[in-house]
Structure 1
Amino acid sequence: MRIGILGSGFMGTTHARAYAKIPGVEIVAVSSLNRDKAEKLAAEVGARAVSDDRAIIEDASIVAISNTLPTHLHAAPTIAALEKGKHVLLEKPFALLAEETDDMVASARAAKRILMVAHVMRFWGEYVTLVEFVQSGRIGKPISAVATRLSQLPAWSDWFLNPAWSGGAVLDLAVHDFDALNWLFGQPKSVYARGRELKPQLWNDIHAIVDYGDVNGMVDGSEFMPAGYPFTAALKVLCEGGVIEFIFRAGGVSLEMGGGSSLIVHEAGKSYPLTPKPGDPYENQIAYFVQCLREGRAPEQGTPEQARSAVATSNAARRSLETGEVVTL
């Protein structure tokens, strides 16, 4: 299976390393406007380096691509690749606006190709185990949930500071947690959010309440954390018969620095850990995408519908931040 990767930054490198571990997968080419970046990654994974994304899109021998370009560049290369008959794994978030995803979905359907969005939390063992446990009903019906994601500003690129490119942390960071709540509870009804801008239109500290009807979720997301603060993610779900809580704290300021985590259930008078699904989440995600291609089946996780809903929820939170009002979805 011959693969091309658009982008040689942090996520492009992450995708490439994961593909390189799968037997029978060849990374043909990686791209970047920064030739040094592309050449460094290409040398690591045995690919060729190109400066033009079209060189990968036009290569008829490549059957699938990972698009890891900045969010504002998601649509055009994805549509072009689909029209050339390629399957696409697209980094999250799907797009800046939910409406911008529709042409990509239509192109995938017309080309009869797989389009999957890389919502890696859906392949992170602790999140998978937590969701399965809650949905099993072992501690009763859920009542509320709190999803947390705290970090400094991403250090690997400055495009995150342009709200027209990244959407700010309310989209780029918190979309993980909006997706996790939607995964747990379904389609949200409304969102109310408060927060603070790093600069105009760049909402990088947010607190959002998401109403699912019988269940409420809260997203606490910030890129205002001080220098040296470890990247932290958590998800706590309160149910009628207890609480399940996942906490991850990195060994440094970003995820790849390792760290420690716990996944614990608290019931009346007792607490006990759960053993999470195994594997590196990024490697799990890439392996799942490749398996879907080999088996000719549409993915059940990271679907365009799930990813669009996460963007729509993020967009509603941003409108609420800007207007101070509850936004209905």
Structure 2
Amino acid sequence: MVDRIRIGIIGAGGIVQWAHLPSLKLLRDRVDVRVVFSRSIERAKEVAMRFSIPEATDDWRSTVSRGDLDALLIATPNYTHKTIAVESVRAGKHVFLEKPIALSIGDGLEIVREAEKAGVNLMVGHCLRFWPEYVRVRESILSNAIGEPRVARAYRLSSFPRWAPWHRYRELSGGVVVDLMIHDLDFLRWILGEVEEVFGYTVRFTEASIDNTDHAVAILRFRDGAIAYVEASWAFPSNFPFTTYLEIAGTKGLLTVDNRSTATVEVFMESVQNVLAPVDKGAYFSELKAFIDWIQYGVKPPIEPMDAVEALRIAVAVHRSSEMGAPIKVSEVM
């Protein structure tokens, strides 16, 4: 019998409440959640009560320094990731860190180095690598179902995230590219390989954004010659439903994933159309299970810490390209 992993939760926002803690509840035979942190002690206590967590705190450093925790789940505002993650791994804790890994490549690299130095596991939550439909797309591509992938399109569109004021400032959130588009940038790199060049265009549309970018488009050219068009937005009306769409065109056919369609994954080939409906407990359960498997059994998840840094590098390249008004080599972005 493997001992349960003793875990602390740093952050008590929406994703913790509707994704992380319900997923950890399904893993309760392997996980012991002991404490939850929020800057608001009232919120920490409310979340602790709702999810039967023994302790609540408004002091994250006291959580990091506890000797009775094996791991920490960090889901705090983007601008806090580097400080909390570095102190956590230095304290000898395994860390599951929500994406993005950090707001600068240098900070991301520092987190990775400190985790390696401490000999602890660092996993960044790029959830599309666990999303059932997206996993099925990757499996289809690896099995040559649509031939060699040549062109991709990805959309991720929503209204402005007004629930947290830090989204309004680029220095705190990283903008729509680092916070939202990065999902698709990571996934496309995972299935199509390294990105050679980026041409990005970012704008500010909404009054909710103080000095931030809330709509972005990017053209990616991959090392093997494939190209992708990626669009992300926080600029849609408040009643617009969150919309994602993925399309991969290969030499033998086409794959699509549309979250507003009744069909989950569709495969189009000459005279043939297939609908694939993966059955799964969900991406957040799968990624947290992978994190626990890594700690308990040494089974590595399908994402390395440097993958998170490289996804951030592409995102930063989109911003740099937009500022320059010209394509930019991703390898030149530091």
**Same fold, TM-score > 0.5, yes or no:** yes
The two structures, once aligned, show a CA RMSD in angstroms of 1.5
**Corresponding residue for residue 244 of structure 2:** 233
Question: C-alpha separation between the residues in 1 aligned to 2:192 and 2:123?
Answer: 21
**What residue is the counterpart of 1:30 in the other structure?**
36
Q: Identify the residue that residue 66 of structure 1 maps to in structure 2.
A: 73
Identity of aligned residues (%): 29
Query: For residue 254 of structure 1, what is the aligned residue in structure 2?
Result: none
What is the TM-score when the length of structure 1 is the normalising length? 0.93
Equivalent residue for 1:75, pick from 82, 85, 91: 82
Q: Is the 8 A contact 1:142 1:239 kept in 2?
A: yes
Shift of 1:260: 5.0
1:2 equivalenced with 2:6 (yes/no): yes
Q: Please give the TM-score of this superposition, normalised by the length of structure 2.
A: 0.92
Matched position secondary structure for 2:151: strand
Query: Offset at 1:283?
Result: 1.1
Q: Is the Cα contact below 8 Å between 1:70 and 1:166 reproduced in 2?
A: yes
Q: Distance in 1 between matches of 2:67 and 2:212?
A: 40
Q: 1: distance between equivalents of 2:26 and 2:37?
A: 20
Q: How does 1:132-171 map to 2 (within 5 A)?
A: 132-171=139-178
Shift of 1:200: 6.4
- Residue in 1 that maps onto 2:106: 99
Asked if 1:216 corresponds to 2:227, the answer is: yes
Q: Is the 8 Å Cα contact of residues 10 and 156 (structure 1) preserved in structure 2?
A: no
Does structure 1 conserve the Cα–Cα contact (< 8 Å) formed by 2:168 and 2:210? no
Q: What one-letter code is carried by the residue in structure 1 that aligns with 2:147?
A: G
**Residue type of the alignment partner of 2:22:** R
Q: Does 1:270 align with 2:285?
A: no
**Residue number in structure 2 paired with 1:282:** 284
- 3-state SS of 1:61 partner: coil
- Worse-superposed segment, 75-84 or 171-180: 75-84
Aligned residues: 319
Structure 1 Cα separation of the partners of residues 52 and 37 of structure 2: 13
Does residue 1:296 correspond to 2:298, yes or no?
yes
How many Å apart are 1:30 and its aligned residue?
Answer: 0.5
Q: Of residues 179, 189, 203 in structure 1, which corresponds to 2:186? A: 179
Deviation at 1:186, TM superposition (A): 1.2
Contact 1:6 1:12 in 2 (8 A): no
Q: Counterparts of 2:87 and 2:210 in 1: how far apart (Å)?
A: 33
Gaps of 5+ in 2: none
Uncovered stretches (5+) of structure 1, i.e. residues with no partner = 250-258
Amino acid at match of 1:28: R
Q: Matched residues in 1 for 2:271 and 2:134: separation?
A: 24
Go from structure 1 to structure 2 and tell me whether the alpha carbon gap of 1:305 and 1:221 turns closer, same or farther (over 3 Å shift): same
| Aligned-partner Cα distance in 2 for 1:4–1:76 | 17
State the 4+ residue runs in structure 1 displaced beyond 6 angstroms. none
Instruction: Assess if the C-alpha contact under 8 Å between 1:27 and 1:45 holds in 2.
Output: no
Tell me if structure 1 keeps the 8 A contact 2:168–2:211. no
Do 1:195 and 1:205's aligned partners in 2 also have CA atoms closer than 8 Å? Answer: yes
Inter-partner Cα distance in structure 1 for 2:302 and 2:275: 27
2:49 equivalent among 32, 35, 43: 43
